[in-house]
Amino acid sequence: MRLGEFLSDRLDRLLIQGTCAGTAAFFLWATGTQPGVLVILLLSLLLVFIAFHLTDFFRQRARLQELNAILDGLDQKYLFAECLPPARKLYERRFLGLTRRAGQAMTEAVSDARAAQLEYREYVERWVHEIKTPITAARLICGHLEGDIRRRLTYELGQIEGHVERALFYARAASPERDCVIRPAQLGEIVSRAIGTHRTLLIQSGVRVETEGLDLCVYTDEKWAAFILGQLLQNAARYRGTEPAITISARPLGNQVQLTVADNGIGIPAHELPRVFDRGFTGSNGRVRGGSTGMGLYLCRKLAGFLELGLTISSEEGKGSAVTLTFPAKENLTKL
């Protein structure tokens, strides 16, 4: 709070005090008081008013600084009303009482929202596990079919599994610390797991996958890292060009490991690159080819953030895209 703001807020009080002092001086002058006495009286009143308002200004500023320090020290800002020091005056007591009541209502609303979110997440996880049973049964039924019908049904079941898996990880992303375990993992096994999950999509899309330099150890959650790679493989297959190919290569970078997933697909327009990780962004390619939800890369970025993975993308329209994952060094991880 600045002095100018304080005086501006008290302008009406200052005008009343000035008016009262002027009226008293006029009355005393009219009753024969000497001008010198009036000047001394007005100067004395002015000094008293200045001292009073300056004292009030510094007291209020110190109080605001105290409250601001309390707020800055809280991780959960909505608990501010519960941590306030005792009020000093009647108005402040009443006002802080109202603030505490509002804070209690907010706390209850936050608790209810968290409980509802947890309940919804548990429902989604149960639903995902239950839906896997009929999907598995449908795959077994497809095994007795032949020809084009079998291939088409297998492809569509793979698409369903992809959407179901994405829904599961989206639900888990709300509190990833409950499901994520970071430990040493072989990069080749993670890549093999991702390729195996999306093998049908890659084969039916005619995509050739090449790997290079994957005999490295990284620190991550194998399941979550495989999911991120799976989303990148799905995107490469969906936005493929002629004679599609994906190259997955890794190289050590000091104590870190960089994994690059590069394709020779249709690429991404330059003006859309800054938005590809935004939630729900499908881009011009997604609208033309259809089937895009705009959630895959968004989830990749969100999960990569928790895993402390670097995630960057580069692309040239008509030539392909490359996504680079940088696995952190063990000593830099905060979640081990």
Angle made by CA atoms 168, 174, 175, in degrees to the nearest 5: 100
- Provide the pLDDT for residue 290: 64
Bridge partners for 253 per DSSP? 256
Q: Cα dihedral angle (115, 121, 122, 127), rounded to 10 degrees? A: 150
Q: Which two tokens stand for residue 273?
A: 């690159």
Coil, helix or strand at residue 166:
helix
- Provide the pLDDT for residue 232: 93
Residues 6 or more apart from 198 whose CB is under 8 A from it? 158, 162, 230, 233, 234, 237
The span from the CA of 106 to the CA of 96, in Å, is: 15
Bridge partners for 274 per DSSP? none
The span from the CA of 194 to the CA of 327, in Å, is: 17
Q: Which two tokens stand for residue 330?
A: 């063990």
Residues 6 or more apart from 153 whose CB is under 8 A from it? 138, 142, 145
- Provide the pLDDT for residue 18: 83
- Provide the pLDDT for residue 336: 59
Per-residue pLDDT of the chain (336 residues; tens, 9 = 90+): 677 787 787 788 888 888 888 888 888 788 877 888 788 888 888 888 888 888 888 888 888 888 888 888 878 776 777 777 777 778 778 888 888 888 788 778 888 888 888 788 788 878 887 888 888 888 888 878 877 888 888 878 887 888 888 887 877 777 777 777 888 999 999 999 999 988 888 888 899 999 999 999 999 999 999 999 999 998 898 888 888 999 999 999 888 999 999 999 999 988 888 898 888 888 787 777 666 777 888 888 988 988 889 999 999 988 899 999 999 988 777 765
The span from the CA of 304 to the CA of 306, in Å, is: 5
The span from the CA of 329 to the CA of 13, in Å, is: 64
Q: List, in order of start, the domains of the chain with CATH numbers.
A: 3-105 (no CATH), 182-332 (3.30.565.10)
Place of tokens 């490991």: 257
